[in-house]
Homo-oligomer: A and B are copies of this chain.
Amino acid sequence: MELGVLYSGGKDSTLAALLLEEFYDVTLVTAHFGISDDWTHARETAAALEFEFERLELDPDVARDAAGTIREDGFPRNGIQQVHLHALERLAEREYDAIADGTRRDDRVPTVSRAQAQSLEDRHDVDYIAPLSGFGRTAVDRLVEAELEVVVGPSEEIDRADYEAELRAIIADEAGPGAIAECFPDHTQTYVTGVLE
Interface residue ranges, A against B (CB under 8 Å): 1, 18-19, 21-23, 97-98, 100, 103, 105-106, 114, 117-118, 121, 127-136, 138-139, 142-143, 146-147
Contacts and interface: CB of A to CB of B under 8 A. Distances in A.
A163 B190 CA distance: 42
Given A1-B142, A105-B114, A146-B23, A134 B134 contact: yes
B133 A129 contact: no
Q: How many copies does the complex hold?
A: 2
B133 A121 contact: no
A106 B113 CA distance: 12
Contact of A19 (B130, B131, B142, B146): B131
A106 B131 CA distance: 14
Contacts of A22: 18-19, 21-22
Given A23-B143, A133-B133, 14 more contacts: A1-B142, A1-B146, A21-B22, A22-B22, A98-B142, A100-B134, A106-B114, A127-B136, A127-B142, A128-B136, A129-B134, A131-B131, A132-B134, A134-B134
A177 to B, nearest CB: 37
A127 B138 contact: yes
Nearest to A147: B23
Contact of A139 (B98, B136, B143): B98
Given A19-B131, A22-B18, A133-B133, A138 B114 contact: no
19 contacts: A1-B142, A1-B146, A18-B22, A19-B23, A23-B147, A97-B142, A98-B139, A98-B142, A105-B114, A106-B114, A118-B136, A121-B136, A127-B136, A127-B138, A129-B134, A129-B139, A131-B131, A131-B134, A133-B134
